[in-house]
Structure 1
Amino acid sequence: MLPARRRLPAQGAVVVTGASSGLGRECALALEERGFHVIAGVRRSEDGEKLLAESLHGRLRPAVIDITDEASVRASAELAAREYGALRGLVNNAGICVPGPLECVEGDQFRRQLDVNVVGHLEMVRAHLPLLRRARGRIVNVTSGLGKAAVPFLGAYATAQFAKEAMSDALRRELAPGGVRVSIVAPGAILTPIWGKVSDAGERVLRDAPPAVAERYRAAFTAFMAGNGQQALASRTTPEDFARAVARALTDVRPRTRYWVGADARRMGRLARLLPDALLDRRFGGITATVGASEAAPAPADRTPT
């Protein structure tokens, strides 16, 4: 039997971004339950009021944080400094998903994906690092199984997740001498409100693409999105599982570099590590098998009798 991993006490202040709903909401409430003081970053003040109503211990403080806005990020760090003086943890959870064939994803949509899921989190790190150093705190960057293997029709999202994985690796190595530890938490499919948002976003991507291009992908992409929704419905992984993994990343005496959450996330990580690209291409080939199937076959070339 393996010995239990040693844990630090759950105390001090933690900032959690993307706490309006879904995994971030569950994480903020669970960390407060364990004993942390939590600054819960939300999109709107009414989201914060709802979250505060669910708080049971008086250790949760909602704050409107737009991680793509420099002034908002700076205000978050100033609030943490004023109220707590130091930070035990920063949980970079906020994110969006821009689904769709890359040929259909416009430049501004792609930039928005990277701005929210990568650039915004680096800005949060930079603003809060002085407070994290004071407490020899932790940074927890939330990615997914798509940070290791890029699935067709989620290319923009996977690009952001790959980038966040690379950013986490670099930060982990750069910040270790100062005592700040960096971990990745990579959840698989979990049924949360994000799935409805992803479906709506996918419809917008196809609607904004040139009609001929959108039609080439429509059938395959629609089937893919339906399958993703079914996978989330069938998943046994819960938001509570995710929150436990984040808590472990914040309290393990020797935190792991990566915490997988869910069998599908672990499986994706193993596939990316063990299979050559050609076999991964074959495994994902079924997703794109019907791309272009509705296009008319080219007419045979005229043959002039000799």
Structure 2
Amino acid sequence: MTHTPSPLAVVVTGASSGLGRETALDLEDRGFRVVAGVRRVEDGEKLVAESLHGRVVPRLVDVTDDGSVAACARFCEEELGGLWGLVNNAGICVSAPLECVDSERMRQQLETNVVGQLAMIRAHLPLLRRSRGRVVNVTSGLGRVAVPYMGAYSAAQFAKEAMSDALRREVAPSGVRVSVVQPGAIRTPIWDKVSNVGAEALRGAPPEVAALYRITFERFLEGNARQAARSRTTPEDFARAVARALTDANPRTRYRVGSDARLVNAMSRTLPDRLLDRYFAGILTP
């Protein structure tokens, strides 16, 4: 016998801003009760004020803190009576030449985007198994193709893709369904953070190393920002894909959001490494 809370409860991590915020509000509007994982009390208060139906419940969730993760799962069981879905959206993006990514920054990238996501999955799977619910892991097109100057981020996204595939196969016998949502470039506050983190990484590298990359890396960051600004893909498009992963009777293993995400997937499947290297060579030319 399955246990399904009413209304259906969903945890969305990284809900303070951007895609996570849009997803939390969209799911609430669709009738879900949304546990919105935020890092600051004021972010949760703002989200509640923006909600229309009083079904957004903010929780302070740090995916890199096991105690915080466990507390979220306890809240879902004790206060909500169960859980239907977990949307692993929280993440950071370290964009820098790999030679400029120090060990601490790389650990932070992997701890947040991979280790923390697995912690959330482990803590909430017992509830999802009872409801035969859903896990939705958010990656990106960079989980399929590794772009120069995004190596740390791509490493985390590749790992999350692999983790999602293994998890999907492991939990299928218990009725839990696992999907990946792969958004392309979408204009959100993350792009300002990407530029700031990249600048910090270059400042922390030896001057002679930073000098090797500075011109092409800064041009790369500017190009990324322009691409996001021009993108016709919206946060609403992303939120709809997440909703489909949570509600489709037979959810896809992957939902790609935006023409660029679909293009990257096609490139990864059809182009040999040498052609991809040639395609990205322009990024590295001063």
TM-score scaled to structure 2, two decimals? Answer: 0.97
SS across alignment from 2:137: strand
Identify the residue that residue 194 of structure 2 maps to in structure 1: 198
Equivalent position to 2:216, from 201, 217, 220: 220
Identify the residue that residue 12 of structure 2 maps to in structure 1: 16
What value does the CA root-mean-square deviation take over the aligned residues? 0.8
Q: Percent of pairs identical after alignment?
A: 68
Deviations 1:183-238 (A, max 9, x none): 00000000001110111011000000000000000000000000000000000000
The 8 Å contact of residues 12 and 36 in structure 1, kept in 2 or not, is answered as: yes
Equivalent position to 1:247, from 239, 243, 255: 243
SS across alignment from 1:14: strand
Whichever residue aligns with residue 175 of structure 1, its letter is V
Equivalent position to 1:115, from 99, 111, 116: 111
Q: Offset of 1:54 from its aligned partner?
A: 0.4
Identify the residue that residue 160 of structure 2 maps to in structure 1: 164
Q: Does 1:153 align with 2:144?
A: no
Gaps of 5+ in 1: 1-9, 291-306
Q: Does 1:47 align with 2:43?
A: yes
Per the alignment, do residues 267 and 11 of structure 1 end up closer, same or farther by CA in structure 2, a change over 3 Å counting? farther
Equivalent position to 1:267, from 259, 263, 267: 263
Gaps of 5+ in 2: 1-5
Q: Does 1:283 align with 2:279?
A: yes
Q: Offset of 1:42 from its aligned partner?
A: 0.2
Q: Does 1:184 align with 2:180?
A: yes
Deviations 1:107-163 (A, max 9, x none): 110010000000000000000001101110000000000000000000000000000
Q: Offset of 1:86 from its aligned partner?
A: 1.6
Structure-to-structure mapping, 1:222-237, within 5 angstroms = 222-237=218-233
Equivalent position to 1:86, from 64, 82, 87: 82
The 8 Å contact of residues 140 and 185 in structure 1, kept in 2 or not, is answered as: yes
Identify the residue that residue 59 of structure 1 maps to in structure 2: 55
TM-score scaled to structure 1, two decimals? Answer: 0.91
Structure number with bigger Rg: 1
The 8 Å contact of residues 23 and 242 in structure 1, kept in 2 or not, is answered as: yes
C-alpha separation in 2, matches of 1:35 and 1:11: 7
C-alpha separation in 2, matches of 1:65 and 1:250: 21
Q: Does 1:125 align with 2:121?
A: yes
SS across alignment from 1:162: helix
Flag as ranges the 4+ runs of structure 1 deviating above 6 A. none
Deviations 1:51-104 (A, max 9, x none): 000011011100000000010000000000012222110000000001100000
Q: Offset of 1:11 from its aligned partner?
A: 4.4
The 8 Å contact of residues 85 and 131 in structure 1, kept in 2 or not, is answered as: no
SS across alignment from 2:79: helix
Q: Offset of 1:289 from its aligned partner?
A: 1.8
Identify the residue that residue 137 of structure 1 maps to in structure 2: 133
The count of aligned residue pairs is 281
